[in-house]
Structure 1
């Protein structure tokens, strides 16, 4: 399992489909929004939580189609499905690799991009915490979507249409945590809901993803 994790992380870094592409998109979005909205710091501070979360969501979405596509093309996915290792564990490892190469870099760079968007100082800690709690759910849900579309030619658009509605609760509660933190309000309820979504996704979706993969490989 550790060897599979290292292999997937190496492929993500070499292909540029995870680390570099997601960070570049996140940076471009944070630069373009002030140019389009204007330099008013009050307006930017108001929309910054939502913009940062939308950017993180879309950046995670960019590399989802690569989670199983390469393994399906070279036949590795068939070997993994018939290996003594549970397929649910394989799916979990691939979701973890996606989060480590896409989600974690986005979390680490988000405070810098918050400066570009004039994010209020009290919100930085909540931004980091919400992204750390929420981005694993984005990777796990995205892995489920990638499993649904594995083997389909040009399935990237279909994958986006399937996954984006499932991302909405995470986006809403993640942005709400940052917005309330910026205003000094209580963040306990949206933070608990965000953590619950992630816990539920991590606990249940690997089994659903493994089931879908088995069906697609028949």
Structure 2
């Protein structure tokens, strides 16, 4: 099973490396929004620092949404997805490998950029570890939820329009837990524990839901 996971992961990483525009676009969107927002707020460092954690997380969420539309669509159109579903390897494992590759090219760069984003938002260095940790725990959940939405809408004519409608409500708890973990100095650790528990739950059950959705999409 490990060999199947590694093979699919390597394939997805090679495809992503050959198409840098697909994963650079959401990162550029993130940086553009984070650059323009302070200009719109004006010279108010206190207000900017107050809004920064929520802004970082909202833009990270939107960046993940921008990057997931073609996660399964290209494979569905060229028949690769059908081969993955019908292969001897577990479908949930193949799906998890694709989600991991998506996170490595989308979520992980956002985590690595978080100190730079904190500097742009006029946040002190004490905020950087909390924001980075919240993104490290939360962005994999966003990738899994986005992949579930992609699996549910793959093959549909208006799938791109339906995708945000389906998964945005599911992402709200992640957004709330992450921003509260950053903003609550006294009970922040408890929110991080809840975020970690949600990550464990997502890693356990969402690949199964994604696999079931892909099987339905291929059988249509």
Q: What is the CA deviation profile of residues 94-132 of structure 1, one whole-angstrom value per residue up to 9, with x for unaligned ones?
A: 111111110000000111011111123211100111100
* TM superposition shift of 1:21: 1.2
1:19-71 CA-to-partner distances (Å, cap 9, x unmatched) read: 31121011011111111111211000000000001111111111111110110
Equivalent residues of 2:23, 2:67 under 8 A apart: no
2:79 counterpart residue number: 75
Task: Tell me the TM-score normalised to structure 1 length.
Answer: 0.94
Aligned residues: 215
How does the TM-score come out when normalised to structure 2? 0.94
- Structure 1 runs not aligned, ≥5 long: none
Q: Post-superposition, which runs of at least 4 consecutive aligned residues in structure 1 deviate over 6 A?
A: none
Is 1:65 the counterpart of 2:108? The answer is no
Distance (whole Å) between structure 1 residues aligned to residue 80 and residue 10 of structure 2: 15
Residue 153 and residue 14 in structure 1: after superposition, are their counterparts in 2 closer, same or farther (change >3 A)? farther
Q: 2:59 aligns with which of 55, 75, 80?
A: 55
Measure, in 1, the Cα distance between the counterparts of 2:142 and 2:91: 20
Alignment of 1:41-120 (within 5 A): 41-120=45-124
The RMSD of aligned alpha carbons is: 1.3
Residue 198 of structure 1 and its aligned partner are, at CA, apart by 1.1
CA distance in structure 2 between the partners assigned to 1:73 and 1:8 by the alignment: 16
Kept in 1: contact 2:72–2:150 (CA 8 A): yes
Mark the runs of 5 or more structure 2 residues left unpaired by the alignment: none
String of CA shifts for 1:149-174, please: whole Å, max 9, x gaps: 01112411210111111110111111
